[in-house]
């Protein structure tokens, strides 16, 4: 996978996590689509989910920068 493709999937992942944190799709991080996007971004879904849960508990915000 080239860098541009990975950046695309990272952007999709961060956007989905932001939407979940804002309540727009709160169960997405536990879906098969989430796992697939993590795989496409070359990330381990379990680690991403753990980081998301810790970040959300600490009140951190998810931002996607252009």
Burial 15-33 (b: 16+ CB within 10 A, else e): ebbeebbeeebeeebeeee
> How far apart, in whole angstroms, are the C-alpha atoms of residue 66 and residue 63?
10
Q: End-to-end CA distance of the chain, in Å?
A: 20
What predicted TM-score, i.e. pTM, was given to this entire model? 0.83
Task: Using pLDDT thresholds of 50, 70 and 90, give the confidence band for residue 62.
Answer: low
Task: Sort 37 into a burial class: Cβ within 10 Å, 0-12 / 13-18 / 19+.
Answer: buried
Please write the tens of the pLDDT for every residue from 9-61. 999 999 999 899 889 999 999 999 999 999 999 999 999 999 999 988 888 77
Task: Using pLDDT thresholds of 50, 70 and 90, give the confidence band for residue 2.
Answer: confident
Domain ranges of the chain: 3-57
What token pair was written down for 22? 């804002």
């Amino acid at each position: 996978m080239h860098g541009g493709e990975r950046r695309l999937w990272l952007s999709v992942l961060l956007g989905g996590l932001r939407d979940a944190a804002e309540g727009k799709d709160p169960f997405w991080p536990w879906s098969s689509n989430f796992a697939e996007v993590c795989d496409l971004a070359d990330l381990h879904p379990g680690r991403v989910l753990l980081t998301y849960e810790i970040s959300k508990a600490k009140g951190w915000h998810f931002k996607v920068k252009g």
